[in-house]
Amino acid sequence: MKVIVVGSSHGGYEAVRGMLLENPDAEIQWYERGNFISFLSCGMELYLEGTVKDVNTVAYETVDNAEKDGVHVFVQQEIASIDEKNKSVHVKNLADGSERDESYDKLILAIGATPRRLDVPGKDLENLYAMRGRDWAIKLKQKMVDPDLKHVFVIGSGYIGIEAAEAFAKAGKEVTIVDHNPRLLGNYLDSEFTEKLTQEFKENGVNFVGSVNVSEFVGKDGKVSSVKTDQGTFDAELVVETAGVIPNTSLVDGLLDLDERGRIKIDEHQETSVKDIYAVGDATKVPYAPTGELSSIALASNARRQGRTAAANAAGRELKMTAVSGSSALSVFNYHFASTGVKQDTQEKCGVKGAESVLIEDWAVPPFVSEEAGNAKVYFKITFDPTDGRILGGQIMSTRDVTANINTISFAIQQHATVYDLAYADFFFQPGFDRPWNIMNEAAQAAVRKIN
């Protein structure tokens, strides 16, 4: 069997690894149009902040390693078109200009997404950057040490914008971060959490402005110098645009069924509308565990699960894509937070009505352990359906890293567990690590009282 995998990021990497596990005898061809395979944008902040020194190590895989495992890797080679009737792809070698066709038995598309750029006057000025992939990582890193750069303007306060803002602030730059939303991280956390994080940003020199519409990039000598918005003009010698992504699906437009935003429609086995063509990652949607509906959640964790699912099905073993809840974690200066599933403030965006929540504030470990010894306040919020107690979401934040609790909530959502199940669930107790009632027990018990 000949399998062609297109795209070498999270989805493509996992599809290749999955195929090696499922069918070691398969002939695997792996294509990437960029000049580097499997760069992890997830690791970009670690590189920008200097935790990781070499940008080339921020990857899952090297060409040599994949080839040692029998995978044929083609870098700087783009799949330019697909002939689904003859089951072949047209390949353009971007390095030497040559072209050829390659046949396939199974085709797995992990073609991902590209950052959305603002279509406003001044959009062609220099120093308007995005933040995705190795090339942008290198360019951003150069800017961090540029002594002429004083003001950085970040558009979009999702995870990526937050990472950009924090990295540039730590590099000593004056940073403003703006969003359409009134709250920063508005899609990830409720206001009890975002108020604290906005304050944390402020204390570390990052100015957040919400409910902003950018109207123009103003330039001087061809380079951006300020940004006009409906809330004033901001100095900016560098703009980082992190206002969402657009699926890279022009390759399959007219061939595969796409949704209204151009994402590839897939079934529960990751198969597209054309037999033997599978799609995974940010170019697709995922099954959202709280509602059972498909949802667009651009995460590497999802792309990896989809890649494994596509590989299993392409190899002939039936495997359904697991339902996911958009679980994610991040740090903002001294705080660590994580969230999963439905939030109280934005439940309607997730297709949910009438959800209720309980917020608990408590110490991470028994209060006899001092803050100097590592104790810290933990804020945990559980969101549930009051009609049957079903757990729909969770959010956690502390200056101590307690983010892993959210994986339990994600699993509870996926398993359709209720606050009744969680209220007395068995979690370990050791005063150096936790309390006799974990904060999730406490919150679920409060939720049960609220329902009754």
Residues of this chain that interact with ligand FAD (CB under 6 A) are: 6-12, 31-34, 41-42, 44, 78-79, 110-113, 131-132, 160, 163, 248, 251, 281-282, 298-301, 303
Residue number, 326 or 389, with CB nearest to ligand FAD: 326
* Cβ-contact 303, 279 below 8 angstroms: no
Q: Answer for the pair 101, 88: CB distance below 8 angstroms, yes or no.
A: yes
> Residue 177 and residue 194: Cα distance in Å, rounded?
14
Q: What is the closest distance, in whole angstroms, from the C-beta atom of residue 170 to ligand FAD in the complex?
A: 15
The nearest distance, CB 250 to ligand FAD, in angstroms, is: 9
Residue 370: strand, helix, or coil:
coil
Distance from C-alpha of 174 to C-alpha of 206, rounded to nearest angstrom:
7
Write down the least CB distance from residue 42 to ligand FAD, Å: 4
Report in angstroms the alpha-carbon separations of 162 from 138, 169, 198, 207, 238: 18, 10, 11, 11, 15
Cβ proximity to ligand FAD, 135 vs 421, nearer residue:
135
Residue 336 annotated as catalytic? no
231: three-class secondary structure by DSSP: coil
CB of 222 to ligand FAD, least distance (A): 27
DSSP 228: E
Would you say 11 or 122 has its CB closer to ligand FAD? 11
CA 25 to chain centroid, in Å, comes to 33
Q: In the annotation, is 42 catalytic? A: yes
8/441 with CB nearer ligand FAD:
8
In angstroms, give the least distance from the CB of 259 to ligand FAD.
15
Active-site annotation holder among 10, 151, 336, 350 = 10
* Least Cβ distance, residue 303 to ligand FAD (angstroms): 4
Report, in Å, the least distance between residue 138 CB and ligand FAD: 13
**In this structure, are residues 347 and 218 in contact, taking their beta carbons and an 8 Å threshold?**
no
Report yes or no: 190 and 357 within 8 Å, Cβ to Cβ: yes
Least distance CB 223 / ligand FAD (angstroms): 24
Question: How many CB atoms are closer than 10 A to CB 87?
Answer: 19
Q: Nearer Cβ to ligand FAD, position 122 or 247? A: 247
Phi, psi of 24 (to 5 degrees): -60, -20
Which residue, 409 or 417, has its beta carbon nearer to ligand FAD? 409
> How many Å apart are CA 132 and CA 256, to the nearest integer?
26
> What does the alpha-carbon distance between residue 202 and residue 200 come to, in Å, rounded to a whole number?
5
Smallest gap from Cβ 252 to ligand FAD, in A, equals: 9
Amino acid at 54: D
Q: CA geometry: angle at 187 spanning 182 and 193, to 5°?
A: 75
d(CA 380, CA 439): 7
In Å, how far from its chain's centre is CA 369? 35
In whole angstroms, what is the distance from residue 311 CA to residue 133 CA? 24
**Which string of DSSP letters, residue by residue, matches 100-167?**
EEEE-SEEEE---EEE----STTTTSBTEE---HHHHHHHHHHHHT-TT--EEEEE--SHHHHHHHHH
Which lies closer to ligand FAD via its Cβ, residue 191 or residue 331? Answer: 331
Q: Which of 42, 90, 180, 416 is catalytic?
A: 42
Which of 268, 283, 273, 277 lies closest to 314, judged by CA?
Answer: 277
The nearer residue to ligand FAD, 258 or 422, going by C-beta atoms, is: 258
C-alpha closest to that of 363 among 349, 352, 374:
374
The angle subtended at Cα 235 by Cα 229 and Cα 236, nearest 5°, is 95
Nearer to ligand FAD, 216 or 401 (CB): 401
Catalytic residue positions, numbered: 10, 42
